Copies of this chain bind each other. A is one copy, B any other.
Amino acid sequence: MSDWQEISGGVTAPKGYRAAGIAAGLKPSGLPDLALILSKVEAIAAGVFTTSHVRAACVDYCRQRLQAKHSARAILCNAGQANAATGEQGWKDAIASAQLLGQELNISPNSILLASTGVIGQRIPMDALSAGIPNLVAAASETGSDAAAKAIVTTDLVTKSIALETTIDDRPVRIGGICKGSGMIHPNMATLLAFVTCDAAVSTSLWQQMLSRAADRSFNQITVDGDTSTNDTLIALANGQSRTAAITEMGEEAEKLEAMLTAVCQYMAKAIARDGEGATCLVEVQVTGAADDASARQIAKTIVGSSLVKSAIFGRDPNWGRIAAAAGRAGIPFEQEDLKIQLGDFLLMDKGQPLPFDRGAASAYLKQSAAGAYLKEDTVLISVSVGNGSGTGAAWGCDLSYDYVKINAEYTT
C-alpha cells in the first residue's frame, strides 16, 4: 500500500540540506555532542513540543520563534545538558547559542531553532559551544546526516535514521529524519528529539497540520515508562527544493506527502520504543472497532503502557487478563461482551470471555519475537477489538525488564 521507497541519506537525503555532528567537549565522555541541520534556503518549519509545564529553555525558544514566523534555516542541537530548570540564565544561553550560530552562518538568529538533551538542571558550557560552532559549520555536508544522528544521542544504544522517497508532480520528493530517545523520558538525560527534513513545497499551515497529525499517530503513541520529558521536540522543515508545485490544501498529493511524513515519524517512533531502557522487544498494540480513531489510540496506548502487560511480555507470559484489565481502564467506554484479544495468531479472548489456547505455543511466540532481529522480526503484536466502530489505532512500547529498574535505580548513584 505504501507509495514510497526507502532510500539512504537521513536528513540530508532531501534536496538542499546539509548536516554535521562534532565533538565539542560538552559531554564528559568526549563523544560527539553538537549537531547542525542546515537548509540551503529558508524552509517552512513546523514543530511539536512537550506538553510538560516544566520545560527546557530551547522548547520555549522554539515555540516563540515558530509563533513569530513559520520558517527556519537551521536547527542546532547540543547533547549533554538539557538546559531545563536553569532559569533566566538558561534562557540567555539559548539566545546566545542562536546568535553565535547566526553570526557564523551570516543569517538572522531568528532563522535558527534549538534543541537540547542531557542532564536536567545543567547549563550548556557556553565557552565550549562557542569554540565548537565554527568547526560545526565547516563540517556541514550533504552526507552529514549520520554524523548529526550520532551527535544527538545520550544513552541510546543505536542511532536512528530514515529517509523515504515518493513522486509528486512527476518529480521525486523526499523526507528524511533523525531522532534520539531511549525512554519517553530519560532520568536526568532528558528527552525525545526528532528532526525531519523534506524538500517538498508546502504551505505553512498545512505542514503544521500534517506534522501534528503524524505526531498523534507516531511519537504520541509510544511509551517506555509513562514519563513525559521536559525537552521533547519534533521539528520538521520543508524547503521546496524538489521544485514541485506548492501543496497548499488537502488533496491527492497532500495526502501522499502526509502519508510519507507519518511513515517517517512512525519508523522513528518505533525505533525509540525498541531502544527503550532495558527493552528486549518492541510491542505493537493494534485496536479496532472503537467509536473513533482517538478512542482506539487511547486504548492501544493504555495497554502498551501497562506495567503488568509489559512485565508479562518480559516473562514470556501470554497473560490476556492483564490486557483486558488495561483495556478496561483506558477511560473509553465499551461493552465487555465485545472484547476480543489476539496475541500474534493466538485468539485468547472473544466476546468478552477467555478461550482455550495453546499456552506453550503462545509463550514460544513471545520468546521467538524477542529473539528476532532488531526492529524487523522482534515485534510482539497484540490485536484488540472493542466493538463494531470504525475507529482504529496503534501504539508501540517495549517490555519491562530487570534492566529498566537497574538503569533507573543506579543512574546517578
Question: How far, in whole Å, are A236 and B263 apart by their CA atoms in the complex?
Answer: 53
Stretch at the interface among A13-21, A195-203, A308-316, A388-396: A308-316
B333 adjacent to A120 (CB under 8 Å): no
Q: Which of chain B's residues have a CB closer than 8 A to the CB of A226? A: 226, 305-307
Q: Name A182-235 residues within 8 Å CB distance of B.
A: 185, 187-188, 190, 225-230
Q: Which B residue's beta carbon lies closest to that of A299? A: B53
In contact, B413 and A308 (Cβ under 8 angstroms): no
Q: Which residues of B contact A167 (CB under 8 A)?
A: none
Question: Contact at B352–A87, with CB atoms within 8 Å?
Answer: yes
Q: Select the residue from A311, A351, A409, A411 with max chain B CB neighbours within 10 A.
A: A409
For A320, what are the chain B residues with a Cβ–Cβ distance below 8 Å?
A: 121
Q: A53-B336, A85-B353, A321-B187 are in contact. Are A405 and B405 (CB under 8 A)?
A: yes
Give A324's nearest chain B residue, CB to CB: B54
Q: How far is the CA of A327 from the CA of B306 in the complex (A)?
A: 20
Given contacts A227-B306, A329-B51, contact A321 B120 (CB under 8 A): yes
Alpha-carbon distance between A353 and B120 when the two chains are bound, in angstroms: 10
Q: Determine if A412 and B317 form an interchain contact, defined as CB atoms under 8 angstroms apart.
A: yes
The reply to whether B363 and A328 form a contact with Cβ atoms under 8 Å apart is no
CB-CB under 8 A for A328 and B185, given A308-B225, A315-B409: no
Within 8 A of B (CB), among A326-367: 326-330, 332-334, 336-337, 339, 349, 351-354, 363
Q: Are A336 and B55 in contact (CB under 8 A)?
A: yes
- How many copies make up the complex? 2
Q: Is there a chain B Cβ closer than 8 Å to A404's Cβ?
A: yes
Query: Taking the complex as formed, is A371 at the interface, i.e. its CB lies under 8 A from any CB of chain B?
Result: no
| A304 at the B interface (CB under 8 A) | no
* Interface members, chain A 100-126 (any B CB < 8 Å): 119-121
Question: Are the C-beta atoms of B327 and A54 separated by less than 8 Å?
Answer: yes
Most B Cβ at <10 Å: residue of A52, A190, A308, A312 = A308
Would A406 and B402 count as touching, CB distance under 8 A? yes
State whether A121 touches B354 (Cβ < 8 A): yes
A405–B412 Cα distance when bound, in Å, is 21
Q: List 5 contacting pairs A-B, 8 Å CB cutoff, sorted by A.
A: A54-B328, A120-B324, A187-B308, A227-B329, A229-B325
